[in-house]
Structure 1
Amino acid sequence: MFDHTKQQSDTLRLTRRPAADRGRANFGWLKSVHSFSFGQYYDESHMGFGNLRVINDDLVAGGMGFGEHPHRNAEIFSYVMGGALEHKDSMGNGSVVSAGGVQYMSAGSGVTHSEFNPSKTDEMRFLQVWLLPEVENTKPAYDTINLSTADKDGQLKLFLSRDGRDGSMKSQADASVYAATLDGGQTITTILKEGRKGWLQVADGTLHVNGLDLLKGDGLAIEGAGTLTFDQGENAEFLFFDLAL
């Protein structure tokens, strides 16, 4: 369920999605936590948020992974938190993305791919996110980006957008996706405009958003318009989504 604790600023409405309330799956080699309905976890009140459909926090054992499987009409990215992620697909792409990197796939009219942990011994953690495209059945595409520590340090780093601005990867979804780290006395402010909605996902650590305390794994649904202030971070790393309504 969503936490009933809400904060308001300007016309903003902030609703916390507590980490402990997410869906969970344990397959031995894979431990996954679902912010929205996925696989065997179904909750009609958590089917997504705007055009954000999936956020899975996945921990994959050494030498294991997801065998070849198909996707259509989904914008999918993997934000690697620890270890490395090896990808192969029917477009002929093959890559290994390490912690700090992001891989992106626009499934469009159809693509098959596989994802594996190339280490035989070390676990690999990543956030897998699905967004809905504005137009279906487009030509599939693949891209990667590496985000340095400095890129995210105390600031929102854009890495995925509809128009590919500021060196970000270009997506078919009407969404701008940012990564940031926050610690000590650092503060980040941004404005959510009218006609948009936002989601924040805490990947690590803790922080405050407009005075609301967020913990590792928490999500935050943001509706309305106004100024967002991120502060009081303790080893915090998070994703911020500026989404279509």
Structure 2
Amino acid sequence: MAKSILHKAGSRGGADHGWLKSFHTFSFASYHNPDRVHFGALRVLNDDWVAGGQGFGEHPHNNMEIISIPLKGELRHQDSMGNKGVIKPGEIQVMSAGTGIYHTEFNNIPDEATEFLQIWVFPNKRDVQPRYDQAKLSYKKHPNQLEQVLSPDRESAGVWIHQNAWFHMGCIAQGNKTTYTVKDGANNGVYIFVLNGSILVDDQALDRRDGYGLWETETFTLEATADAEVLLMEVPMII
């Protein structure tokens, strides 16, 4: 029988710095919950709101796979590898921090808030050469399907990371269903995060910004009880 864990949106940790409002699914910065440190290799899932023109000054990372998914507005990125650019909704960004990297992230619009997901995944290799990549997503053009946006395969759709992990995103119209088959059911679990709307995962009801982890299962079904947008993160459960 599948094992599961439910994290309702209102149970998340949070921080309000004025220019930054952040909800933390897992322990992060000043929020620490010993029961919510990670879900397998998924270490951080932050739901961030950044005021116009504000952002994160230069800071370091190492030995972590860092994924950013803009939901609204624009993020301006710059890093110590010389990468500069802007990412927008409909795109995904990844950094393999490896031996060490410095970067900045700012809201690129001076008078409008930006919203994005900041996700950290433990890598399966330490001290790799740092790297940066971003890709365009098309899942909103293909309703009622799950589009792969991240994988371990650099030749596959979306971006890739140093981990046996797969991310999928999809828009599911009310009354429609889709089934997800775990790529590595013997070792991996899937953390489902509802961006918008409401869904049933098998018999578990989930609403906007709820999170639900499943493991020791091979497949499960998602049914939209209201038009929904979802992110599925399949990761190894043992790190």
What range describes the TM-score normalised by the shorter chain of this pair? over 0.9
Residue in structure 2 matched with residue 126 of structure 1 by the alignment:
116
- The gaps in structure 1 that reach 5 residues or longer are 1-10
- Root-mean-square deviation (Å): 1.3
1:1-245 counterparts in 2 under 5 A?
Answer: 11-150=1-140, 153-192=143-182, 193-245=185-237
For residues 173-215 of structure 1, what are the alpha-carbon distances to aligned partners after superposition, in whole Å with 9 as ceiling and x for unaligned?
2211111111223211012322221111112221111021101
Deviation of the 1:225 alpha carbon:
1.4
2:81 alignment partner, SS class: coil
Amino acid paired to 1:41: Y
1:43 alignment partner, SS class: coil
Q: Which has the higher mean CA deviation after the structures are superposed, 58-67 or 217-226?
A: 217-226
Deviation of the 1:165 alpha carbon:
4.6
- Runs (4+) of structure 1 exceeding 6 A deviation are none
TM-score (normalizing by structure 1): 0.92
TM-score (normalizing by structure 2): 0.94
2:10 alignment partner, SS class: helix
CA distance in 1, matches of 2:142, 2:8: 24
- The gaps in structure 2 that reach 5 residues or longer are none
Maintained 8 Å contact 2:65/2:123: yes
Give the fraction of aligned pairs with identical amino acids, expressed as a percent.
37
Q: How many residues align?
A: 235
CA distance in 2, matches of 1:35, 1:221: 12
